[in-house]
Structure formats: structure tokens, C-alpha cells
Amino acid sequence: MKYSPKVLFATFIAANMGFANLAVAQYPCPTCPTCPPNVPSYPGYTEVMPSTPLPTPPEPMEVETEETTEIPPAPEVGTFTPPPMPAPSTPIQQVTTTASSQTTLLPNTFGDIFDTGTYLFNGATIVTSPGGGGVVGRNKISEASNPIPRDRFFFNFDYFSETQLSPEDPWVARFSPGLERTILCGAASIEARLPFAATFDADFSTTTADDRDFELGNLQFIFKGILYNEEGFYFTGGTGLVLPTASDADLFDPFTGEQLLTIENESVLLEPYLAIVMLPTDRTFVQLWTQASFDVRGSEVFASEPMIGTPLTSFNEIGRLQSANLLQFDVQVGYWLMEQSNCRCKRGLFDIDGLAVFAEYHYNTTIGTPDFIGSPGSASTLVSTSGSIDEMNLTLGGTALIGDRSSLALGVVLPLKGGDDERFDYQLGVRYNLYFGDSVRQRNRTVNMF
């Protein structure tokens, strides 16, 4: 299934701006209470009453019934000078709650996944399933994200070395722009991502030539909400929805130009998830994510098969391919080497406001066995090249908070297992976030998962 760039761009912008603005209009944020002026707020302050009572006002004067133009003089009232206010026992300081100050100390997770389903057609040629990310790859919900909703624009870059897209192990350079908008007064958010990549061509041939092209990935929407929170602890959840905007997978005979196979991109993925944030100290942070991914629709597969009793072939549907269902776990542990989250002084545009290091562990496994297409009455077969996978990856990286509005993270991902469970040789990534709205005013710039 292919879409024009104009249709994809309009869908992407409308989904981000329209849904979020509608939700905000339905659930307007309450107005902030006004604080009384010039009221001391240092700890230990108590109001001091004068030691002597105020003088009693005089009795009201009797007014004569006769009309008179003279105005009686005002009664004299004694003046009162309040005693001096005692000095506070502790210096006056800006008071911030522990929870709000700690939530500024949580980097985003970095991420790790590239997995895309690869299949062997008639035992000879490798093709990819577009529902599983195609030649662009999948996006995890936890990738470059954070359990706490925020207003941000982000741009991610990943370089994957020696992927399993073909026997030549081609590299892939993936770009993932996106937008997240908070709703319900910051208690939830809606996010959209639309990846594209310099990668292996989605139009395959039966030869092993390493044809390359720029390919569009599948559009991903994410709904995120805070389910419970207290001091230093957040429990959140939500779901992702992946729509089929990537190219179909087509296989051609390079000599005759005949189309041998087509996997139409019709898969729709539902991705429920839960996440936990823990802030043990002012400088340490922990994130836990668990996510499932289910293909609820599948993609039709067509193949060219010989017609019985003739030398001709016909292009027929041979089945419906379900992308592999996945279960994923992610853990991030990190430490702030430097942070100035409570600083209210004027900073430059590119001043380093914080610096954190982190490590992540990622586990991706299939639920059940990958789909298989083939029957005794069909001459065509489509079999998964790897079967069930148990992928384990380690991420190491760092995040810098730049000025009031942005953050930049760098990281490297290393596979911990080999064979079919090693989906790439290594991954290098860059994560950029530009915050706006309440995420800037509240300085809630928590670091994302890589």
C-alpha cells in the first residue's frame, strides 16, 4: 500500500495538532490561584500580634434633627505603630516540592530495536514483511521516550551496521521525526512518529544485488497517561497504534521483469505498554518498560504460480501474512554528573544545564511462532528466516540538557547474543528534543529512553 508524500504529511500534521487541540478544548486546565502579595513564606514564620490592643473607637455622635451646614469634626483616633517583625530562624529560600524537583532529573530512554520480519520465498530469496517495519524497521514506544507526558518536538537518528535484510548484510540509516502534545492538563499526551531511512530497496530481485533507496516507514501514534504518582515514583501506561504507510514488498525477476511476489502492507499493530519511573536519590533515576505488539490485521500475499496444463502463470493470492507478535522489556539506570534544574538565572541558548550518563538493558522476544504461508495445492511458500527470536541488547550513552528548551543524547547499542538473535552488528544513535509549552515553564525535562 503506497501513499503520496502530500497525503502522509497532511495525515501526520492533522493527527498531531487536531487531536491534541480537541482534547485540550474539552478539558481546559484550571486557572492558577493568585498568591497574596508581600507575604513572607520562610519556614517557621508565625504572625506576630501587637502586645497592646488597638484603641476602642469612640461612641457614635448623636446627630441633631435640625438642619445644619456645619460638618462635625472627626473624632481623634490614637495612632498605632506595630512592633518590628522578628527575624526568621532560617534564611529565606525558594521552596520547591520534592516531586516536582525530582521529575526534572529523569533522562529519556534511548532504545535499541531494528527488528523487521524477514522471510524466505520458495527457499531461495529473502524478502521483508512491511507490517514488521519493512526495510525501515520497527519503532519501540520506549525508544527516545519517557513515561511522563511532555510537549516536545524530537528528531532521532540511528545507524545500524550489518542488518539481516539480505545476505549482503546492508547498513541502514534511519531518521525518526515526531511530535508529542500534552492533554488533560499534562496528565496525558498524544505522540506521532513517521520514520524514513536510507536502506535496502523495498523492490527486491532474485539476485543478490545490494540495491538501495530512501524508504518511508509505518506511521506510529502513541497515547500516554499517568495512572499513579507520588514522591519519587510514577506509574504510567497507554497504547501505540501503527498504521501501514510503508511501501509494499515486491519481488521481481531481474531478467524478465516478471513480478514474482507481493506482500501488500495492510498490517495494523496494537502496542499496549506499562512503565514505571523511580527516583531513589536526587541524582539517580530508573525506568522500567514492558510492551507487547500485536498484528491485528495482517497483509495479503500474492505470488506468480504456474497454471496447470499450460506454460502460463497467474498472479494469485496465496495467503495472509501476520507480522510476528513481540514482547519487550527495557530497563534504564542512570546518574546525573551535573544538573542545575532549579537554577532561575538567565542562561545562554547553548549553555549546558545538565549532564547524565546511563545504561540500558533490552530484551525482545516473539510471542508464539512466526507465520508461515504454503499449502499442498500451492507452489509458493513463505517461511520465516529466523523463527522465534530472543534478542538481548546493551545500550550505553549520555544526555546533555542544553539551555531551557532542548536536550541531546548520544548512545551505542551492542548485541549480547549472536546468530539469528543478533539483528545487527552495532547501532549508533543521536536523540534531539526541543521542549515547549508547560514542559519549558515547569522545567520538567526528564531524559528519554534511548
**Greater pLDDT, 327 or 107:** 327
- Give the model confidence (pLDDT) of 388-420 as tens digits: 788 999 999 999 999 878 999 999 999 998 887
Per-residue model confidence (pLDDT) at position 38: 41
Predicted model pTM = 0.74
Average pLDDT value for the chain: 77
- Take residue 54 and report the three cell numbers written for it: 488597638
Mean pLDDT, rounded, for 282-301: 94
Q: Given a cut of 50, is residue 96 above it in pLDDT?
A: no
Give the whole-angstrom CA distance, residue 126 versus residue 311: 26
Give the whole-angstrom CA distance, residue 63 versus residue 48: 39
**Greater pLDDT, 51 or 124:** 124
Angle, CA 62 vertex, CA 56 and CA 65 arms, to 5°: 160
Paired with 259 in beta bridges are 252
Per-residue model confidence (pLDDT) at position 446: 56
Mean pLDDT, rounded, for 118-139: 79
Q: In percent, how much of the chain has pLDDT > 70?
A: 66
Q: Given a cut of 70, is residue 48 above it in pLDDT?
A: no
Mean pLDDT, rounded, for 421-431: 90
**Greater pLDDT, 351 or 46:** 351
Delimit the domains of the chain by residue range: 5-23+97-449
For the ranges 38-47, 300-309, 440-449, the maximum mean pLDDT occurs at 300-309
For the ranges 51-55, 240-244, 349-353, the maximum mean pLDDT occurs at 240-244
Q: Is the dihedral of CA 418, 424, 430, 432 positive or negative?
A: negative
CB-based contact 276:290 (threshold 8 Å)? no
**Greater pLDDT, 102 or 380:** 380
- Take residue 218 and report the three cell numbers written for it: 509505518
Nearest partner of 355 among 288, 278, 407, judged by Cα: 407
Q: In percent, how much of the chain has pLDDT > 90?
A: 39
Per-residue model confidence (pLDDT) at position 24: 41
Per-residue pLDDT band at 55 (split at 50, 70, 90): low
Q: Is the dihedral of CA 181, 330, 394, 363 positive or negative?
A: negative
- Give the model confidence (pLDDT) of 141-188 as tens digits: 999 999 999 999 999 999 999 888 777 788 999 999 999 999 999 999
Contacts of 319 (CB under 8 A, 6+ apart): 301, 373, 374, 375, 382
Per-residue model confidence (pLDDT) at position 25: 44
Give the whole-angstrom CA distance, residue 221 versus residue 272: 12
For the ranges 204-213, 263-272, 320-329, 363-372, the maximum mean pLDDT occurs at 263-272
Give the whole-angstrom CA distance, residue 161 versus residue 238: 32
The fold adopted by the segment(s) 5-23+97-449 is Porin (2.40.160)
CB-based contact 109:448 (threshold 8 Å)? yes
CB-based contact 243:251 (threshold 8 Å)? no
Q: How many residues does the chain have?
A: 450
Mean pLDDT, rounded, for 279-299: 94
- Take residue 56 and report the three cell numbers written for it: 476602642
Per-residue model confidence (pLDDT) at position 22: 41
Per-residue pLDDT band at 60 (split at 50, 70, 90): low
Mean pLDDT, rounded, for 220-244: 96
Q: Given a cut of 50, is residue 37 above it in pLDDT?
A: no
